Amino acid sequence: MSILKDKNILLGITAGIAAYKSASLVRLFIKAGANVKVVMTPASKDFITPLTLSTLSKNPVHSSFVDDENDDAVWNNHVELGLWADVFIIAPATANTMAKMANGVCDNILLATYLSAKCPVYFAPAMDLDMYKHESTKSSFDKLISYGNKMIPAGKGELASGLIGEGRMAEPEDIVSFIEKDILNQLPLRGKTILITAGPTYEAIDPVRFIGNHSSGKMGFEIANAAANLGAKVILVTGPTHQTTKHSLIDVKPVVSAQEMYDEVHQHFKNVDVAILSAAVADYRPKTVASQKIKKKESTFSIELEKTKDILKSLGEVKQNQFLVGFALETNNELENAKGKLQSKNLDLIVLNSLQDKGAGFGVSTNKVTFITSSNEVIENELKSKAEVAKDLMQQILKQLDA
């Protein structure tokens, strides 16, 4: 999954022959999971039609301040467009438009939107060789970069004039890659590796039966996505679950039993910066596992159980510089029990949730948690979606890491 997933991307198109590449650019952004809107200069419609871009983006395309085709004038609010965008990319960016951007000229909806945008702005120059090398164009580059805009350098190749040299707009794939890398490099967890456990464990009774619990794994997967969206490389060790993720920064390690999860976690722990153990690991397992399916003969049946290894505690015993986070699902004396686990297992943070809270626990899309830090700070949170809880957790971890 691309870092652009669910991002609002505003694509600005100006009047250059490279505008034909904009259709491919829209498709690549959509493929990456982004929401795309397009704003055009009036003259750019001579190179590519709004209909093509509207069809690909699944959104109306704006090229003027007012749409009056049906005698009912509709104002296209450039301020709303600028505020909607998480990323604004102008491709192609002609010499004319860049000069206007550099000097605050505002004579079309694209330029008005640029001046209203609060998000990062990228521009991909496209023009002929002599125009690209001209001192006035270089001055526009310098000014735009000094304003905080980010230039995607033009490539070398055959130009519309037949000349060979710089000025060819970067290819759509390279533009997408440039933006993805730039966003990743600015994320607070870039360069960090986070180990996360999720889901239940299944402890075999015989080849067809097991002891398990109702954990869906959703909370752990949401935490993995939240961490990856902040730039972390994530190792996700998960028990049996229907949850899936396609995020490019998440490496899923499926396991079944508590022992398998213990082994997998310890294999990676020494190389991670943060470990978040949100899995609902079985506390007990059958002491003896039958090699054949147990037949139903007697009216009662007993299974002797033995304790599984305490994965969280074992990590607390060997941790060095890792930031260790545990989860505590409690039904009584919640705060007292959670604080006890925080200390006894040598944690930096524990996440408490109670089955007494409506909307929290297994099999639901919401959760209500309390964060307890190693300094005994108690931070209560409202009932939220598990995705929002995951984001809150990552912000709390960042806060403690920066302290």
What are the tens digits of pLDDT across the range 351-371?
A: 998 767 676 667 678 889 999
Alpha helices (runs of H) in 147-242, residue ranges in sequence order: 172-186, 218-229
The pLDDT score that the predictor gives to residue 363 is 66
Q: Over the range 276-295, which residues count as b (16 or more CB within 10 Å of their CB) and which as e?
A: bbbbbbbeebbeeeeeeeee
In the structure encoding, which two tokens stand for residue 143, read together? 């000014």
Convert 28-80 into a string of H (helix), E (strand) and C (coil).
Answer: HHHHCCCEEEEEECHHHHHCCCHHHHHHHHCCCEECCCEECCCCCCEECCHHH
Give the start-to-end residue ranges of the domains of the chain.
8-186, 193-402
- Could you report the per-residue pLDDT of 204-230, keeping only the tens digit for each? 999 999 999 999 999 999 999 999 999
Predicted TM-score (pTM) of this structure: 0.80
Please, where are the H alpha helices in 104-192?
109-116, 129-133, 135-146, 172-186
Catalytic status, residue 213: yes
Asked whether this chain's domains 8-186 and 193-402 adopt the same fold, the reply is: yes
What fold is seen in the domain 193-402? Rossmann fold (3.40.50)
Instruction: State the catalytic residue, choosing from 213, 337, 346, 381.
Output: 213
Report pLDDT for 73.
61
User: Check: CATH 3.20.20.60 for 8-186?
Assistant: no
Which of the two residues, 282 and 163, has the higher pLDDT score?
282
